[in-house]
Structure 1
């Protein structure tokens, strides 16, 4: 139960949804064949369009693979081992809404699998206008009193503002826990999030586990509803497919679990990462995941659920996305440079850039080539049919989670509006991503707020 009274559970519905996906996938396959035939009718081209354009859709390798993801269940013989793990939760705080922080900490204390220690670090929160410190005295008193009743150790420190990574390592570098759980201060955990998130660690090869992120303020406005749709291809698509391959590349700051040794070994390098001579503070979660990838397997646990506040204003949304995209661009370079040439991550990264290149180059070539322009209408219709099918295939993943604040009718409506998310990606996120790639060296610290951006009270 969240502060807003919302509950959720991962249902999967794998067999039912796969059956539903079959006709849509058949329609997509028909569209690809039709596109190839239409492209093959174009004469006088300096390239083979019949291969290039359909291949740009087939590079979405993760879409079918995501359906093979299932929650990890603990073998009976390993339950005692997991129960003995010491779990430390780290919550970095910077200009957070007090009610959101209160809900976050309450959800940690209410876990069905009790955590051992909670370490809160206030990274110099201050009012953007007056510069006066923002204090959370009432939240802290309540939290520490409730933790004491439950026998959970707590620490709460305030530091000068140096960025999220320094706030994390301020307490984790010397912590003696077995598992570190990193949590954003606006995240609200499902009651069983910790229990479910620990399950994959029954395999000693697993070094990190990504939680399953849901939008808490889903009904706040049109932007937050759209965010629910835009999140799906990554949180329930790409990340799920990567988990099947045991190679998740980016955990979310909303909820992630790490073997503590991975984080402790990174102390010093992690908070002092540099790119083009500048301090790199953004995309901290993907950097910790990168360290975990170097050490072993990284997975996603779809039944470890967490709610997080999404931006409710376009300016906040744009800053958040730009920060993420710049960080991802830098991380791509790290994967290509440091991960093995024979590994999954290297080649899926190559596939991602190849897909982007084809998506940009093919429309330009079609318009520039007179022979192609003669068939442009037919080619565009076929491509639109494939795009429609692909969007609905991705949107089917909406039905893998059931929320108490979302009726079946609401989910069906959101599913029906899936093509709007495609338009949003094309007209808003794609140009923003290209700008982020070209300006990726403009790194900063927290990057999204000089004060409270999203209030839990206003969103409730």
Structure 2
């Protein structure tokens, strides 16, 4: 009996809608409000007597360092020229899925979504990195999932492998099979992520350009209604997934693909075998931020882009403890990768200076509020500064949150999207009070690298949907 993507395990029906006229019209008043707030603040800082600091310069510099916010709106779905589509169909695509202490239902949904693609994949390679119960130490097996998957793959004529290795980390699990695989394109997919039916077709389109070495998928939250934290995560993802990454894609210099879904020219991955899984930082093995390292190799080889129409739905943390560990792992890994960009990226290139801009923005974000609070003259005029800064702050966050409406999901009515959109200021407060201090802490403790980081046991289970 063929497998079917039932409502309890399949991805929600979704469509990338792009930047429609209504969305662009909605951006106009928000941009106007942001400009008003910025001009008002600059005017105030220049007109108040006795200020020892010209805050207008710092404020304008902070806005300029957010160059990616407006540039992200120029991103468009990448389409393959008509004459090159046949070449894309001829590409051999290998999907590699590393597994470690995964929820069996989530893994089943992941594998089913791979086999249900409108553009079939050519082979699937699953590697279980020694999954085990943290308490008993007994191996966690996925016998039923494996049996079901292999039977359906055989029915569809898709070759598969399923290996179990000792626990050495995600990179070793990936390279266990990819180093010797002869495919044209490698697709890396997290075991807690579920592909949209057309994800592979859309993700391959940019490879019609021979300069493109990697393609980042568009990541969406699968368990978005589980808790308030998961709802906030839908907004917290946007500055990266549909902000900075989209802007970088316009420049063809995406620096971090998401591990949830990414495509690579296979030669890029094969060439880094040995170095990739054995990266070290300050003498310690570096297994986190595998996605940024593979993207780094792709950047050295050519162009890296984001495909907004290649959709993947991923499980995100539902508990604060799990969320904090995940964020620290990502932040520490990105801190290390930025050092790599500063060292190896061309001095005149976009990546180098964008990295410098990120550090300058973080510095200004810490210094400007400190100056306003510490200086008596600034403190005396907080009642005037606050409304202007507040208008700008709210407008910028709503401008980013508008990107929620570029994807239409069958499991998310328009009213639900409006509710999430309304939470944009709350997400901004979370970034300010929770993520920014964590970011500073991660910078100071970036050598604390580890392997998988968050999965001593199954952390998030697949939600049942009706």
TM bucket (normalised to shorter chain) is over 0.9
Is 1:359 aligned to 2:361, yes or no? Answer: no
Deviations 1:24-80 (A, max 9, x none): 111111111110011112344444212112321232111111111111111111011
**Whole-angstrom distance in 2 between the partners of 1:397 and 1:317:** 23
Q: Which residue of 1 aligns with 2:233?
A: 227
What SS is found at the alignment partner of 2:237? helix
1:319 aligned residue: 325
Correspondent of 1:306 among 306, 312, 327: 312
Measured in 1, the distance between the counterparts of 2:157 and 2:397 equals: 48
Please, which moves more after superposition, 32-41 or 191-200? 32-41
Alignment correspondent of 1:248: 254
Residues 295 and 141 (structure 1), Cα distance of their counterparts in 2 relative to 1, 3 Å cut: same
Residues of 1 paired with 2:422 and 2:53: CA distance? 37
Indicate if the aligned counterparts of 1:18 and 1:67 stay in contact, CA closer than 8 A.
Answer: no
Query: Is 1:187 the counterpart of 2:193 in the alignment?
Result: yes
| Kept in 2: contact 1:126–1:133 (CA 8 A) | yes
**Residue 407 of structure 2: aligned partner:** 401
Query: CA-to-partner distance for each residue in 1:325-379, whole Å, 9 max, x for gaps?
Result: 0001111111111000111111111111111111100111112222222212211
Checking the alignment, whether the CA contact within 8 Å between 1:217 and 1:459 is kept in structure 2 is no
Q: Secondary structure at the match of 2:454?
A: coil
**1:209 and 2:215 are equivalent in the alignment:** yes
* Distance in 2 separating the partners of 1:458 and 1:94: 22
Q: Cα deviation per residue 1:248-306 (whole Å; 9 max; x = unaligned)?
A: 01000110000000000000110011111111100000000000000000000000000
Q: CA contact under 8 A between 1:99 and 1:457: conserved in structure 2?
A: no
The counterpart of 1:439, out of the listed 441, 445, 456, is 445
Does residue 1:139 correspond to 2:125, yes or no? no
Distance apart, 1:233 and its partner CA: 1.4
Are 1:220 and 1:459, in contact at CA under 8 Å, matched by a contact in 2? no
* Mapped partners of 2:22, 2:252: distance in 1: 25
Sort the Cα spacing of 1:102 and 1:412 in 2 relative to 1 into closer, same or farther, 3 A. same
Structure 1, unmatched stretches of 5+, are none
Residue of structure 2 aligned with 1:50, choices 33, 45, 56: 56
Residues 151-181 of structure 1, C-alpha deviations (whole Å, 9 max, x = no match): 1110010000000000000000010000000
In structure 2, the partner of 1:74 is: 80
Partner-residue secondary structure (3-state), 1:181: strand
- Corresponding residue for 2:384? 378
Residue of structure 2 equivalent to 1:295:
301
Partner of 1:33: 39
Alignment of 1:405-444 (within 5 A): 405-444=411-450
Render the CA deviation track for 1:210-233: whole Å, top value 9, x for unaligned: 000010011111111111111111
Question: Partner residue of 1:269?
Answer: 275
Partner Cα distance (1:352, 1:42) in 2: 30
Runs of 4+ in 1 over 3 A off after TM superposition: 42-47, 457-460
Q: Residue 110 of structure 2 contacts residue 193 of structure 2 at CA under 8 Å; is this kept in 1? A: yes
SS in 2 for 1:456: coil
1: CA distance, partners of 2:151 / 2:250? 41
Question: Residues 68-112 of structure 1: CA distance to partner in whole angstroms, max 9, x if unpaired?
Answer: 111111111101110110000000000001110010000001101
Task: Describe how 1:8-157 pairs up with structure 2 within 5 A.
Answer: 8-157=14-163
Residues 376-401 of structure 1: CA distance to partner in whole angstroms, max 9, x if unpaired?
22112211110011011111111000
Deviation at 1:459, TM superposition (A): 7.6
Partner residue of 2:457 out of 436, 451, 455: 451
Over the aligned positions, Cα root-mean-square deviation in angstroms equals 1.2
Q: What is the Cα deviation at residue 415 of structure 1? A: 1.0
Provide the aligned length of Structure 1 versus Structure 2: 460
Secondary structure at 2:312 match in 1: strand
